[in-house]
Structures are given as structure tokens and as C-alpha cells.
Amino acid sequence: GIQVEQSPPDLILQEGANSTLRCNFSDSVNNLQWFHQNPWGQLINLFYIPSGTKQNGRLSATTVATERYSLLYISSSQTTDSGVYFCAPESSGTASKLTFGTGTRLQVTL
Amino acid sequence: EAGVAQSPRYKIIEKRQSVAFWCNPISGHATLYWYQQILGQGPKLLIQFQNNGVVDDSQLPKDRFSAERLKGVDSTLKIQPAKLEDSAVYLCASSFSMNTEAFFGQGTRLTVV
């Protein structure tokens, strides 16, 4: 099956700082999602981004499917951004399924 | 629009007991997923349904886990008998169809003692 690697595994930022999270995947994909898992365990949808760039407020994401990676940008980070960020590409083919990476754990401090 | 509903939110059982989880997907969503998330790891797909048919159950431990989606709407996931290593959060998700955006429920946290 598809392999998904996320980096960095852990990140500590001061409030107001910017960051870039990376997701590499090993196979061609039909689509890719980014999620934020809050401290209560809820997976919040951030982006559905099979290719190209999308922006939503302080967050933006870029997927380059031909080079098998996606990036999540967080600007002007806030303490509420803390949690774990997962990317989940959906492999192409008849048996497509969402496969999660190991996540990036982000802590934003005052 | 109502989200994915799961129950119970928490469950504590002794090893070798059985347990069942329930999921009600977003109305009109044909694809339903069950994931297992062990502490510190990313969610792992256990089973994927398209309407009431199984699309993928390659990572479902079929000697103890079972799942059904009889009418293509609600789904139940059962563990019988439970082991200590089954302690995890069980997440249900749904999407309109395969290759469309998936939405997750709040999960059921299972502790096996």
C-alpha cells in the first residue's frame, strides 16, 4: 500500500511564528486531505486538495501530485493551532482508501 | 447539516469481553469507514463500505473484529473477544462517495483492562 511520511514529527512554535509541514507519499493519488486533531481527539477537516494550492485564513496548502508531496503552511500561529496535523492521501485505483501519516505534533506557546 | 454520530463516547471493558460501537454517517453518504487510532499513531483503516458492500477489510483482524452496514446507512463494529492491545480510539468517517472528502465522528475511546 501507499506509504506516507510527515515531517517534522514534532514542532514547537512561539505564538505569531510561521511554519511549514510536509507530507511525502509513495504512490499516485486521487486526492489528499489535511486534518487537525485537536486535544479532544476530534479530526477537523482543513483541506481537500488533490492538486494545486488552496488558502483558508491563516492556513494554506499546496499539493504537487506529480512529485508526490503536499505542504501545509501555518502563518501567524496561535495557541489554538496546537494539536496533531495529519495528511491522508487517497490512493488511485479501484481499491482507493485514505491512508494516514504519523502526523506532526505542533505546540504553540505564548 | 448533522455530522457523523458515534456512540458510545467511552467504553471500559475487561479482556475477553465483547463490545460494539455504532456509527450514523452524514445523510446521503454512500462510503463509510472505520479506523483504529492507537495512542501516538495515525488512524489505521479497518474496513471501508460502499453502500452496504465491503470495499476493503484487509486490515481488519477477522478472528475477533466484525462490522456490518446492513441497510447501507448505520454501521456497527464489534470486537469479540477483546484483547488489551485493542485499547484505542475507534473513528467512523463518511464521504459522499469514494474519492470525495471524508468527515469524521468524535470517536469511541475503548479501554481494555
Q: With an 8 Å Cβ cutoff, is A102 touching chain B?
A: yes
Query: H-type helices in chain A, by residue range?
Result: none
Q: Which residues pair with B47 in a beta bridge?
A: B34
Closest CA to A106 of A32, A26, A9, A28: A9
Contact assignment for B99 to A48 by CB distance below 8 Å: no
Burial zone of A98 (CB within 10 Å; 0-12 exposed, 13-18 middle, 19+ buried): buried
pLDDT for residue B102 is more than 80: yes
State the cell numbers at A34.
489535511
Q: With an 8 Å Cβ cutoff, is A39 touching chain B?
A: no
Mean pLDDT of B66-82: 95
Mean pLDDT of B27-48: 96
CA distance linking residue B103 with residue B3, whole number of Å? 8
Instruction: Identify whether the C-beta of residue A45 lies closer than 8 Å to the C-beta of residue A37.
Output: no
Q: With an 8 Å Cβ cutoff, is B101 touching chain A?
A: yes
CA distance linking residue B62 with residue B41, whole number of Å? 22
User: Within 10 A of A57 (CB to CB), how many other CB atoms are there?
Assistant: 7
Percent of chain B with pLDDT over 90: 91
Locate cell 479506523: which residue? Answer: B35
pLDDT for residue B32 is more than 70: yes
Distance from CA of B99 to the nearest CA of A (A): 7
What are the C-alpha distances in Å from A9 to residues A24, A60, A108? 13, 19, 14
Higher pLDDT, B70 or A33: A33
The residue type at B26: I
Closest CA to A102 of A1, A22, A13, A18: A22
pLDDT for residue B1 is more than 70: no
Mean pLDDT of A17-42: 94
What was the pLDDT predicted at B94?
96
Nearest to B101 among A43, A48, A86 (CB): A48
Q: With an 8 Å Cβ cutoff, is B50 touching chain A?
A: no
pLDDT for residue A92 is more than 80: no
pLDDT for residue A23 is more than 90: yes
Percent of chain A with pLDDT over 90: 83
